[in-house]
Amino acid sequence: MTQATQFETAFTMDTSSIKYGPGVTREIGYDMARYAVKRVMVVTDPNLSDSQMVETVCNALRTVGIDAVLYDQVRVEPTDASFKQAIAFAGDGNFDGYVAVGGGSVMDTAKAANLYATYPTDDFLDYVNPPIGKGKPVPGTLKPLIAVPTTAGTGSETTGVAIFDLVEMHAKTGIAHRALRPVMGIIDPHNTATLSPMAAACTGLDVLSHAVESLTALAFNSRPAPESPNYRPAYQGANPISDIWSAKAIEIIGKYQLRAINDPDDIEARGQMLLAASFAGIGFGNAGVHLPHGMSYPVSGMVREYRPEGYHLEWPIIPHGMSVILNAPAVFRWTAEANPKRHLWAAELLGADVRDASDEDAGDILAGAIIKIMKETGMPNGLNAVGFTEDDIEALAEGTLPQHRVTKLSPRPADKDDLMQLFRDAMQYW
């Protein structure tokens, strides 16, 4: 840093309004009517288009006189092409509100449709995160968006982030701005009952990594100050408020994740995991994530033939939560030296015994706690198990380097050689 560099001294706390409770999906008509909207685009994916959740949402909207128009072509793990398809539908539909019913892919697609239909641009990359896109700030407020998550994973109902696969680069990137944040997230435990065990595991481990990454991220006041408040990023670095939400999410996951996976009828566990997803979303939506997520994007983008159990899709996929957690033990073992006490804190929240642990033990203890959960939830044993080899390591590292939005929040800076070694360490764990 030069002598003229000034470090950040401020952070903000933004989140969506949250409504929680079994059956609260039925109240969405009341919730949306408060925004005086008349015509709403209901966004979902083909697997959910005939579901009870979508039917409940559409009926509730129509009961209060809102025209609910269904868009059910969201792609699981969306691409720039699938975003553009939804954007075109939104642009033609003259909507003054949006509802997303689904997982992170659905919620992120709804955010993108809302953004580009409200503030059209000739170049799709205008709002996309740099250095891949131009990172232009969103010009103003968007139409009201209410999110109804059907997975306990992404926390997208609380964040201003929309992630997609830029196909020509074989890598994931995204759009991040506070304006994308839904006005409300409706957290209804009834809506996760149909998740397969593998989908529940993947989404739950995404929550875990969100929370641990935001807890261990570079501190907000260790980052250079922006040119103006308009350029203060949504991902600001760990801060005292995000710590509260992230820590609570980790604690909940340690207690309830296996119960939610093993018994779909355990409404307490499913409700707690949904809350954990939202809590972690509030945490990382303000603090940010770092290397496990940055490394996950090329892992997902470079998938060849892997098809996980319980995902009924016509194309190969490494689910987002899986692609993240496969990197996590290697990363936290490596970053622990930058802030061992925070890594030990995370491990303790997961139930690890840290009473006699030294700072030098922090990385191994946290990595071991995560590997234990990976085994218990049926995750593959590292990147080898989903089709990657030593020959892929350089390409994986190259695909991570452009993910500045998250990689720059690592508490320990990582160059290409570091990333290559981290991917090597993530090939097999047991």
Residue-wise pLDDT for 285-324, tens only, equals 999 999 999 999 999 989 999 999 888 778 899 999 999 9
Give the pLDDT confidence score for residue 380 in this predicted structure.
97
Q: What mean pLDDT value characterizes the chain?
A: 94
* Architecture of the structural domain at 24-187: 3-Layer(aba) Sandwich (3.40)
Strand ranges inside 134-191, DSSP E: 145-149, 161-166, 171-176, 184-187
DSSP secondary structure letters along 417-429:
HHHHHHHHHTS--
Query: Alpha carbon of 7 to those of 238, 290, 303, 342, 348: distances in Å?
Result: 14, 19, 39, 22, 31
Residue with the larger pLDDT of the pair 312 and 49: 49
Across the range 421-425, mean pLDDT stands at 98
Q: Torsions phi, psi of 40, nearest 5?
A: -120, 135
Q: Is the pLDDT of residue 2 over 80?
A: no
Q: Where are the alpha helices (DSSP H) in 263-326?
A: 267-287, 291-301, 320-325
197 vs 180: CA distance, rounded Å:
30
Tell me where in the chain the CATH 3.40.50.1970 domain(s) lie.
Answer: 24-187
Where residue 251 falls among pLDDT bands split at 50, 70, 90?
very high
Q: How many residues does the chain have?
A: 430
Question: On the CB side of 182, how many CA atoms lie within 13 Å of its CA?
Answer: 33
Q: Where are the alpha helices (DSSP H) in 302-415?
A: 320-325, 328-335, 340-349, 362-376, 393-400, 404-407
- 301-305, 328-332, 333-337, 338-342: the lowest-pLDDT one: 301-305
243 vs 287: CA distance, rounded Å:
8
Across the range 61-90, mean pLDDT stands at 96
Give the pLDDT confidence score for residue 326 in this predicted structure.
98
Give the pLDDT confidence score for residue 3 in this predicted structure.
55
217 vs 237: CA distance, rounded Å:
6
If one looks up domain 197-425 in CATH, what number appears?
A: 1.20.1090.10
Give the pLDDT confidence score for residue 209 in this predicted structure.
97
Residue labelled with tokens 């603090």: 287
Tell me where in the chain the CATH 1.20.1090.10 domain(s) lie.
Answer: 197-425
Query: Residue 24 carries which DSSP code?
Result: G
164 vs 173: CA distance, rounded Å:
6
Answer whether 239's CB lies under 8 Å from 341's CB: no
Give the pLDDT confidence score for residue 4 in this predicted structure.
66
Judged by DSSP in three states, 151 sits in coil
Judged by DSSP in three states, 218 sits in coil
Q: Is the pLDDT of residue 1 over 50?
A: no
Give the pLDDT confidence score for residue 77 in this predicted structure.
86
Give the pLDDT confidence score for residue 96 in this predicted structure.
96
315 vs 167: CA distance, rounded Å:
14
Answer whether 100's CB lies under 8 Å from 147's CB: yes
